[in-house]
Amino acid sequence: MFYGANPKLFEFSRTLRLNETEAEKVIWERLKKKQVMGYRFRRQHPIMYFIADFYCHTTKLIIEIDGKVHDIREQYEYDQGKDFELMEQGLRVLRFTNDQIFSDIDTVITTIKQELSNTQKFPKRNLEVYQKK
């Protein structure tokens, strides 16, 4: 679930949760408490040596919210490298801008639902079948 995240990232992720951006607050209101198709999302979740803005362990879906700083070339290139490394681990990454969150949150949520619908679902095993009678 954490893909070998550095223990120092956990403390930093707590700090980020206490200082979330306005865009993160808006989308968190829609993601928390399993409101999107019953999936649980975590905020500011350490993965490897990154912190994902939002992460659903069940579906291995990461949601990143990008402010204006992500328009800077160096940050954009860093984000591309980060996404590549995460995808190499079998994780999926969706990116949205602050503007998308503020101007059309319903479309953002619809996009997330579509991605969640593409998740391959495996049936839970019926343990009674394996128990000796």
Residue showing tokens 């070339």: 73
Q: What is the phi/psi pair of residue 58, to 5°?
A: -60, -40
Q: pLDDT category, 128, cuts 50, 70, 90?
A: very low
Give the pair of three-digit tokens for residue 116.
Answer: 């969640």
Could you tell me whether strands 42-47 and 50-56 are parallel, antiparallel, or unpaired per DSSP bridges?
Answer: antiparallel
Residue showing tokens 């992720």: 13
Q: What residues does each domain of the chain span?
A: 7-130
> Would you state the pLDDT for residue 94?
98
Arithmetic mean of pLDDT, 15-34: 94
Q: pLDDT category, 2, cuts 50, 70, 90?
A: low
Asked if the model's pLDDT at residue 112 lies above 90, the reply is: yes
Arithmetic mean of pLDDT, 77-87: 95
The CATH code for residues 7-130 is 3.40.960.10
**Distance between CA atoms of residues 113 and 107, nearest Å:** 10
**Distance between CA atoms of residues 60 and 93, nearest Å:** 9
Runs of H (alpha helix) within 19-96: 22-31, 73-88
Reported pTM: 0.82
* pLDDT, tens digit, 9 for 90 and up, residues 26-67: 999 999 999 999 999 999 999 988 999 999 999 999 999 999
Q: What Cα–Cα distance (Å) separates residue 48 from each residue in 42, 58, 72, 87, 92?
A: 15, 17, 24, 12, 14
